[in-house]
Amino acid sequence: MTTDAPATAPSSVSSRFHAGNLLREPLLGPLVALVLAIIIFSSVSNSFLNPQNVSLILQQSVVVGILAVGQTLIILTSGIDLSIGAVAVFGTIVMAQTAGANGPVMALGSTLLVCVVFGAINGGLVTALRLPPFIVTLGTFTAIQAATRLLAGSETYRVEPGLLTFLGTSFRVGSFSTTYGVVAMLLVYLVMWYALSQTAWGKHVYAVGGNPQASNLSGIKSQRVLFSVYLTTGVIAAIAAWAALGRIPNADPNAYQNANLESITAVVIGGTSLFGGRGGVGGTLVGTLIVGVLRNGLTQAGVDNLYQNIATGVLVIVAVAVDQFARRRSQ
């Protein structure tokens, strides 16, 4: 990715780690962190890099990884989404309940509809009433979580193997076995990378997040762009719900309680700025893998889950500090 670095010239090598370069090469920091984590864990544990474990890390990253794409979009517009995890969990309940009576296709359709409606509610409140996204999604998060419990009771709903568990189906490439869920996650990343980097819509998402006034003066319909971001995030939440039932074919109202915060973690570690307007899904993919590698490696090393949370928390704060520092240097 950054192989064009002239390794022979010491001055330019050191200048690559200059704060300004971190801004211009936002993927560099997260990539270095990922490679370091992989080197450390593979030296501690012999089984860390074997194909089964790599496949496991990827599969464990699928749901949060997909949610993190939606989270990236919202954070790029200098917002934050506290509800996307709860929307996806609600989606799994809707999917499982609809599947029983109306079949899997209707189940997927109604989940997509419900998730997009939640996206529209968030987007409508943020754009039409100009409310801060933090407060809007805190409110919808609380309401959706309660609605999930009301809808599900205290039960979990098993889904029959088939279309709804398709993303959990595994296939082999040589000796490497993985699931269609991993493929779906990578596809979501690829599509959003394209949309953000190759289309006018993507430029406008960055512009609206980076400088809303300038965007308006440039003739961009900022509110419409913002609304479309929240709608897209709804679609992504529905895909995450589908992938979640692929991983565990049980719709559980208490599942994925941490998924929302973990999606924010992945985005921030991946170098997308909480101030909006800079970053991208490439960094978020790296951020997702950092969290996945860290959790898996620490588990293998026998580190307690609570210490893993502490490590993740420290990582988030470091990532935000780097972002702040880089911003200050650029101004």
Partner 1 sequence: MTGAPVLEARGLVKKYGNVTAINGADFELRAGEVLAVIGDNGAGKTSLIKALAGAVVPDSGEMLMNGSPVSFKNTRDARAAGIETVYQDLAVVQALDIASNLYLGREVRRKGIAGSLFRRLDMPRMREEASQHLADLKIGIKSVNQAVETLSGGQRQAVAVARSAAFATKLVILDEPTAALDVSVQAVVLNLLQDLKASMGMSYLFVSHDLNVVRLLCDRVIVMRTGRIVEQGPAESVLGNPQDAYTKELLTAIPHPPLPA
Residue 200 touches partner 1, criterion: CB under 8 A: yes
Q: Which stretch binds partner 1 (CB under 8 A): 119-127, 128-136, 201-209, 228-236?
A: 201-209
Q: Which stretch binds partner 1 (CB under 8 A): 130-138, 143-151, 211-219, 247-255?
A: 211-219
The set of residues, in sequence order, having a beta carbon less than 8 Å from that of 272 and lying 6+ positions away, is: 26, 72, 75, 76, 278, 279, 280, 283, 284
Rg (CA), the chain: 20
The rounded distance, in Å, linking the Cα atoms of 109 and 238 is: 9
Q: Minimum distance between the CB of residue 270 and partner 1, rounded to whole angstroms?
A: 16
> Minimum distance from CB of 190 to partner 1 (Å)?
13
DSSP E strand boundaries for the chain: 157-158, 170-173, 176-179, 250-251
Q: Which lies closer to partner 1 via its Cβ, residue 249 or residue 279?
A: 279
Regarding 223 and contact with partner 1 (CB under 8 A), the answer is no
Contact characters 8-27, partner 1, x per CB under 8 A: ------------x--xx---
Rule CB under 8 A: choose which of 177, 216, 223, 300 binds partner 1: 216
Binding of partner 1 by 105 (CB under 8 A): no
* CA distances (Å), origin 141, targets 81, 137, 258: 9, 6, 13
Q: Which is nearer to partner 1, 27 or 99 (CB)?
A: 27
The one among 157, 166, 206, 256 contacting partner 1 by CB under 8 A: 206
| Nearest-angstrom CA–CA distance, 61 and 240 | 11
What is the contact mask toward partner 1 in residues 238 to 277, using x (rule: CB under 8 A)?
---------------------------------------x
Q: How many CB atoms lie within 10 A of CB 45?
A: 16
Total of residues contacting partner 1 (CB under 8 A): 26
Residue 214 binds to partner 1 (criterion: CB under 8 A): yes
- Quote the least distance from Cβ 67 to partner 1, whole Å: 24
Choice between 21 and 53, CB closer to partner 1:
21
Binding of partner 1 at residue 187 (CB under 8 A)?
no
Q: How far apart are the C-alpha atoms of 71 and 266, rounded to whole Å?
A: 9
3-state helix, strand and coil shares in percent for the chain, rounded to the nearest 5: 75, 5, 25
Task: State which of residues 42, 210, 303, 311 lies at the interface with partner 1 (CB under 8 A).
Answer: 210
- At residue 331, the 3 state secondary structure works out as coil
Residue of 198, 254, 309, 324 interacting with partner 1 (CB under 8 A): 198
Residues 274-303 that bind partner 1 (CB under 8 A): 277-278
Cβ atoms within 10 Å, residue 250: 14
Q: Cβ neighbours of residue 216 under 8 Å, at least 6 residues apart?
A: 222
Q: How far apart are the two ends of the chain, measured CA to CA in Å? A: 27
Query: What region, left, alpha or beta, does residue 271 occupy, with left being phi > 0 and alpha being psi -120 to 50 degrees?
Result: left
Interface with partner 1, residue 2, by CB under 8 A:
no
* Least distance CB 215 / partner 1 (angstroms): 7
Query: Could you list the residues that contact partner 1 (CB under 8 A)?
Result: 20, 23-24, 194, 198-201, 203-204, 206-207, 210-211, 213-220, 277-278, 330-331
